[in-house]
Structure 1
Amino acid sequence: MAAKLMKKTRLTLYCDGCVDFSIFEAKMNAMQWNSKVVVITGATSGIGEACAFRFGQEGAKIVITGRSQERLNASVEKLKAKNIDVLGVLADAGSKTDNERMVQEALQAFGRIDVLIANAGISMRALFEEMDLEVFEKVMDTNFWGTIYATKYCLPEILKNKGSIIGISSINGYRGTPARTAYTASKYAMNGFFESLRTEVMKKGVHVLVACPGFTASNIRNNALTADGSMQGESPRDEGSMMTSEEVADAIFKATVRKKRDLVLTGEGKLAVFLNKWIPGIMDGIVYNKMAKEKDSPFK
């Protein structure tokens, strides 16, 4: 109904030549999002927090999760300062019971769930031969199982409301990189899960988007786990030259509105996906050489 009204009004305003339709369209879009509830896991920094701001600024009610009460409170206050209706839930993405409780608290506060952004994730940087298996398991628990748990418990509401499920994956979900075996495995698993789920719900009005940012300026590399599970502490890359979290969030919002299937970001990311499809053997060498040039590379 809203789409028909917008189309009709677009024609009228164009003919009258006296009103900027973009203003009307923005208001209509805000009206659409005012009734929606968006759940975002791992949203106390980076892409998750940026998505909370982006969807919240459109009028959506926001539920964010995080493992640190202090950081969660800080993010909630920042969102409230922008007049965004937000609920913070202290939760570990890798915990089945925390995800179930997250959904219960969201429904208690807002009565519905329309969009899930499965964003919570951690990275790692260590050669597989040197890495403790507990590190591999922790990355899989957060990145993969965290996605599974959040999707499982949000799905009944999203099916009922014909909403969207957005998985924040990575270029690593298309192309593996050395010294990031656990991270790559978790993202490949995410991509496969969502491809299968998308096909299951395609006739039920549910939209599934897999967003794969390239290198993004965030704290994910600072918090990346090393071989023994300690945090890396410093990014090996030039964060200043990367896409910002806000730019990624804006692209994710637009892709959600347009109900896109896949979103691959940055020119380098798109090139990597394309080349890996057609010349995977050559890409092995290209990727090795690129990663070997990183600061403190494990290959040196």
Structure 2
Amino acid sequence: MGREVFRDKVVWITGGGSGIGAALAREFGSRGAKVAVSGRRRPRLEAIVQELEAAGVDAFAVCCDVTRVTDIEASVEAVVERFGGLDVAVANAGFSVGGRFEDLSASEWRRQFETNVIGAAMTLRYALPHLRKTRGRAVIMGSVTGTLGLPSNAPYCASKFAVRGMAQALGAELAGSGVSCTLLQPGFVESDIARVDNKNQLREDWKDWRPAQLMWPADRAACKMVEAVAARKREAVITGHGKIATFLAYHSPGLTQRVLARAGGKVRQKHAGVVGEGQG
């Protein structure tokens, strides 16, 4: 896909201070886009903006907690005021709640859905009026776990299943409008997600135990993601192991279930202070 697609386009990325969000900011910036990043941790946002500006990218940071609709509204308006419009909105902010099903509380389930599902929905809901003006692109960060459920990760998987349904419904609603909707479904990608606890707080002392041999560098994943957005794809599974996993989940659900059940005892939990599985 030509690298000129996003030249001088305005891109807003939630959860843009680290991991996949920061890698997307760098990739869009390298393609000539004007980039706005938002998130809860201002120092990280400012560090990304400084890095982008040093590379010649017109960049902007705005604090935003996607569980607060007023934050989302204010962020959209700030981006439009700063850059004069909006061409791409990436609903990337999210985290993973982990733990055995019977150990998880209602508040943990609500916290998961407030960020990963409602936060994504409201991000695009308030971005869409501006995307309609530019015939732009709405992007939702899903996960391979939106196709198969991992043991000890029921809330996270459920949120990503919901996000996949949201993307399909939104894409159908936008048909013929000139605005596209792309669902990105990564497998294991370098990020902080395995070091964030069930209260969505970063735990610097936690180690990412996910299989290193399967982990994709964030910049490699971001390149594939941006190409999918440029092509206005409906869905894009990122990483080779992710493609295999989703294929098996669709075409061999029984086998997939047996493999996951067998692996269940090896999946470490994030609940109660132990790092858990998850990617998004």
C-alpha distance in 1, partners of 2:268/2:76? 41
| Code of the aligned partner of 2:45 | L
Are 1:114 and 1:158, in contact at CA under 8 Å, matched by a contact in 2?
yes
Are 1:217 and 1:239, in contact at CA under 8 Å, matched by a contact in 2?
no
C-alpha distance in 2, partners of 1:39/1:205? 18
Unaligned runs of 5+ in 2: 272-280
C-alpha distance in 2, partners of 1:46/1:100? 24
The one of 142, 152, 160 aligned to 1:169: 142
| Partner of residue 242, structure 2 | 269
| Partner of residue 11, structure 1 | none
| CA spacing shift, 1:118–1:39, aligned 2, 3 Å | same
| Partner of residue 148, structure 1 | 121
| Partner of residue 42, structure 2 | 69
**Number of residue equivalences:** 270
Higher helix fraction (1 or 2): 1
Q: 1:28-43, aligned counterparts within 5 Å?
A: 29-30=3-4, 32-43=5-16
Find runs of 4+ consecutive structure 1 residues off by over 6 angstroms: none
| Partner of residue 90, structure 1 | 63
SS at match of 1:252: helix
Deviation at 1:297, TM superposition (A): 8.8
| Partner of residue 123, structure 1 | 96
SS at match of 1:243: coil
Q: Structure 2 length as normaliser, TM-score?
A: 0.90
Deviation at 1:282, TM superposition (A): 2.4
The one of 151, 155, 173 aligned to 1:182: 155
In the alignment, is residue 200 of structure 1 matched against residue 173 of structure 2? yes
SS at match of 1:188: helix
| Partner of residue 215, structure 2 | 242
| Code of the aligned partner of 1:201 | L
Q: Give CA-to-partner distance per residue, 1:123-179, whole Å, 9 cap, x none.
A: 122012111221211111111111011100000111111111111100011111111
Unaligned runs of 5+ in 1: 1-24
Are 1:55 and 1:253, in contact at CA under 8 Å, matched by a contact in 2?
yes
Q: Structure 1 length as normaliser, TM-score?
A: 0.84
Deviation at 1:235, TM superposition (A): 2.2
C-alpha distance in 2, partners of 1:98/1:230? 21
Query: Quick one: higher RCO (CA 8 Å, sep 6+), 1 or 2?
Result: 2
C-alpha distance in 1, partners of 2:21/2:264? 26
| Code of the aligned partner of 1:106 | V
C-alpha distance in 2, partners of 1:196/1:188? 13
Larger Rg over CA atoms: 1
Are 2:195 and 2:202, in contact at CA under 8 Å, matched by a contact in 1?
no
- Percent identity among equivalent residues? 32
In the alignment, is residue 213 of structure 1 matched against residue 182 of structure 2? no
